[in-house]
């Protein structure tokens, strides 16, 4: 059983004993996200059953008093006796200052009524991504040769291109765990352009969720889509293959 702690946009694996020690020291808040491998989801630290009682100090933890050396205590006693033998001198009285005349009290201004305070809106916490090495719920896409995909699109006069788009849309939605791409937009004008743009924008998110640091290829993909469509399919499939392999696809 393993746990991952999400901090500063990164997830780091921790043992249960380390997390409990961090909670006892006050280094771990109860509302921080922890990824439980047994449940395959992110939950608050206080909701992990194994962390129950981690923020309470145990009865066996006591503060140990430090014992002072005997010779040091003897020096303190001698110093106190010497101080007691010297009579304390009374401080000289300070000269009295003249009393300033009282200023007339200004009339109080009427207090304006307080405006009602608007309630604060709860801040929506960004849900952290699952740890690298696996997609959402452990599902990844299929690794397809970019050259084979391009040749099939060319030989089938674009028919395989529709099949390719349907498969990539399904894989990306499953891997990201949300319905980001809608397949039937391919059939409608204008919406099909929006669908292609959403596919380009989803590609870096897939790479980051797989644990990579993808480069922004938006401009390159748009240019190849307009001028060399086959090159667009090649680059897009090659980037997806890298993400699937990083996420553990075979």
Residue 104 DSSP code: P
pLDDT at 58 over 70: no
Tell me the range of 47-61, 65-79, 104-118, 235-249 where mean pLDDT is highest. Answer: 235-249
Mean pLDDT of the region 50-64: 59
pLDDT at 186 over 70: yes
Residue 68 lies in a domain: no
pLDDT at 63 over 50: no
Residue 24 lies in a domain: yes
pLDDT in tens, 17-55: 888 899 888 888 888 888 877 777 888 888 888 888 888
Q: How many helices (H) and strands (E) does the chain have?
A: 7, 4
Q: What is the sign, positive or negative, of the torsion defined by CA atoms of 42, 47, 49, 54?
A: positive
Tell me the range of 104-108, 129-133, 145-149 where mean pLDDT is highest. Answer: 145-149
Residue 156 lies in a domain: yes
Residue where a domain terminates, one of 35, 51, 67: 51
Mean pLDDT of the region 180-189: 92
What token pair was written down for 12? Answer: 């780091």
More confident of the two residues 25 and 88: 25
* pLDDT band per the 50, 70, 90 thresholds, residue 148: very high
What is the Cα–Cα distance from 200 to 216, expressed in whole angstroms? 10
Buried b (16+ CB within 10 A) or exposed e, 103-142: eeeeeeeeeeeeeeeeeeeeeeeeebbbbbebbbeeebbe
* pLDDT band per the 50, 70, 90 thresholds, residue 65: very low
Residue where a domain terminates, one of 33, 51, 69: 51
How many angstroms separate the Cα of 98 from the Cα of each of 95, 101, 104?
10, 9, 18
- Closest by alpha carbon to 131, among 2, 27, 219, 241? 2
Q: Which of 12-21, 119-128, 177-186 has the lowest mean pLDDT?
A: 119-128
CB 80 within 8 A of CB 69: no
**What DSSP line would sit under 6-49, residue for residue?**
EETTEEEEE-HHHHHHHHHHT-S-TTSEEEETTTTEEEEGGG-G
pTM: 0.46
Helix (H, G, I), strand (E, B) or coil at 4: strand
What is the Cα–Cα distance from 76 to 173, expressed in whole angstroms? 76
What is the Cα–Cα distance from 35 to 18, expressed in whole angstroms? 15
pLDDT at residue 224, rounded to an integer = 93
pLDDT in tens, 133-147: 444 444 678 899 999
Residue where a domain terminates, one of 51, 70, 87: 51
CB 186 within 8 A of CB 192: yes
Residue 198 lies in a domain: yes
* pLDDT band per the 50, 70, 90 thresholds, residue 14: confident
Residue 201 lies in a domain: yes
pLDDT at 83 over 70: no
Residue 44 lies in a domain: yes
Helix (H, G, I), strand (E, B) or coil at 82: helix
Residue 220 lies in a domain: yes
More confident of the two residues 153 and 65: 153
Angle CA 245–201–232, to nearest 5: 70
Helix (H, G, I), strand (E, B) or coil at 172: helix
Mean pLDDT of the region 209-223: 91
pLDDT at 102 over 80: no
pLDDT at 130 over 50: no
Helix (H, G, I), strand (E, B) or coil at 79: helix
Residue 142's domain comprises: 136-246
In sequence order, the 6+-apart residues with CB closer than 8 A to the CB of 34 are 3, 4, 5, 6, 19, 42, 43, 44, 45, 48, 51
Number of domains present in the structure of the chain: 2
Residue 41 lies in a domain: yes
């Amino acid at each position: 059983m393993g746990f991952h702690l999400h901090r500063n946009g990164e997830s780091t694996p921790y043992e249960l004993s380390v997390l409990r020690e961090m909670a006892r020291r006050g280094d771990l808040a109860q509302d921080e996200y922890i990824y439980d491998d047994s449940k395959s989801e992110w939950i608050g630290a206080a909701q992990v059953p194994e962390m129950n009682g981690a923020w309470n100090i145990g009865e066996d933890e006591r503060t140990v008093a430090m014992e002072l050396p005997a010779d040091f205590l003897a020096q303190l006693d001698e110093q106190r006796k010497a101080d007691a033998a010297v009579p304390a001198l009374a401080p000289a009285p300070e000269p009295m200052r003249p009393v300033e005349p009282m200023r007339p009290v200004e009339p109080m201004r009427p207090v304006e009524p307080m405006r009602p305070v608007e309630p604060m809106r709860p801040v929506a916490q960004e849900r952290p991504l699952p740890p690298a090495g696996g997609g959402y719920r452990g599902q990844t896409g299929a690794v397809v040769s970019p050259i084979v995909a391009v040749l099939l699109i060319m030989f089938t006069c674009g028919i395989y291109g529709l099949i390719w788009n349907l498969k990539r849309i399904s894989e990306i939605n499953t891997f990201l765990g949300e319905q980001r791409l809608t397949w039937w937009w391919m059939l409608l004008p204008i919406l099909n352009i929006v669908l292609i743009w959403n596919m380009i924008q989803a590609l870096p998110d897939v790479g980051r969720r797989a644990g990579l640091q993808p480069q922004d290829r938006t401009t390159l993909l748009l240019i190849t889509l307009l001028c060399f469509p086959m090159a667009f399919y090649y680059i897009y499939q090659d980037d997806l293959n890298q993400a699937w392999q990083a996420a553990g696809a075979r």
